[in-house]
Amino acid sequence: MIGILDYGMGNLRSVQKALQRVGAEAQTIGRPEAVALCDRVVLPGVGAFADGMAHLRATGMDQAVLDYIATGRPLMGICLGMQLLFGASQEGATEASQPVPGLGVLPGRVVRFEEDQGPGQARLKVPHMGWNRIDWQSGTALFDGLTPGGHVYFVHAYYCQPEHPADTAATTTYGRPFCSAVHRDNIWATQFHPEKSQQVGLRILKNFVERAADRPSDPSTG
């Protein structure tokens, strides 16, 4: 059974419907103690990083997620859910030197797109919204069976900067290349919304359901 974590910040129904379309038994989970009973977990999310962390703590889902990840079972973060897995974010910080702490299971930080791209360059529209191409690393189970150059749907003003390059599973160019998916051990995550990305997104979710545990990342990295 796949648990979709309900901590008050997710587009739960669309994720659930997409997982059901690929044949998965998926239900929303609102109690921290129920997380341990799941075979796979999806951490979705829309909204601001600081609010997301506050909701995780208030519901007790923060420790439930950490305990679940420690079991080695697969977890997938989506959009804000990917960002919350990182160490800290600029979003919501009162000072640049004091970013908002995240779950800290992935080393790195979350930063904002810069509108100013430099002399002679057009200003970047932020947030990044709409369809864009992803370029993934070979050997990542999440993208098995997909034709290179597929397009997926994004809505975000901030993006993740993994500390270890090996954690980057896919990149996308918006002004400059940024990390649009990660994989480390039993953790997979996408900055884009697979549940809104038509057939490409459905294949990614199907791969998470069927193949995510088949190919652990190299333990020597990171």
pTM of the model: 0.92
3-state secondary structure of 92: coil
Known catalytic residue at 163: no
In a domain, 123, yes or no: yes
- Domain of residue 140 covers 2-211
- pLDDT tens digits for range 25-72: 999 999 999 999 999 999 999 999 999 999 999 999 999 999 999 999
Cis ω before 44 (30° cut-off from 0): no
Nearest to 49 by CA among 83, 97, 95: 83
If you ran DSSP here, which 8-state letter would residue 54 be given? H
Least confident span in 15-24, 89-98, 183-192: 89-98
What is residue 97's predicted lDDT score, i.e. its pLDDT?
Answer: 81
Supply the pLDDT for residue 118.
76
Query: Percentage of the chain surpassing pLDDT 90?
Result: 83
pLDDT given for residue 10 in this prediction: 81
Please name which of 169, 168, 134 lies closest in space to residue 152, comparing C-alpha atoms.
Answer: 134
Helix (H, G, I), strand (E, B) or coil at 214: coil
Q: Backbone dihedral region of 81: left (phi > 0), alpha (psi from -120 to 50 degrees) or beta?
A: alpha
* Per-residue pLDDT at 119: 82
Question: Running DSSP on this structure, what letter comes out for residue 142?
Answer: G
Tell me whether residue 222 is in a domain.
no
User: Which is the catalytic residue, given 79, 156, 160, 183?
Assistant: 79
**Is residue 127 a contact partner of residue 156, using CB atoms and an 8 Å limit?**
yes
* CA distance readout (Å), 191 to 31, 45, 46, 78: 25, 10, 11, 6
What pLDDT is stored for residue 218 in this prediction? 43
pLDDT for position 121: 80
Per-residue pLDDT, 130: 97
CA terminus-to-terminus distance, the chain: 30
**Per-residue model confidence (pLDDT) at position 220:** 38
Q: 193 an active-site residue?
A: yes
Sign of the Cα torsion 104, 10, 175, 112 reads negative
Domains contained in the chain, number:
1
pLDDT tens digits, 200-216: 999 999 999 998 765 44
* Residue 221 belongs to a domain: no
Residue 4 burial class via C-beta count within 10 angstroms: exposed 0-12, middle 13-18, buried 19 and up = buried
Residue with tokens 């989970």: 29
Q: Determine whether 195 is an active site residue.
A: yes
pLDDT of residue 156: 97
Q: What is the CATH number of the domain that holds 138?
A: 3.40.50.880
CA distance 5 to 121: 41
Provide the pLDDT for residue 213. 65
Nearest to 70 by CA among 46, 30, 24, 35: 35
Average pLDDT, the chain: 92
100 is a domain residue:
yes
Does the residue 95 lie in any domain?
Answer: yes
Token pair, residue 65, equals 């997620």
User: Binning pLDDT at 50, 70 and 90, where does residue 222 land?
Assistant: very low
pLDDT in tens, 74-126: 999 999 999 999 999 999 888 878 999 999 999 999 999 999 877 878 889 99
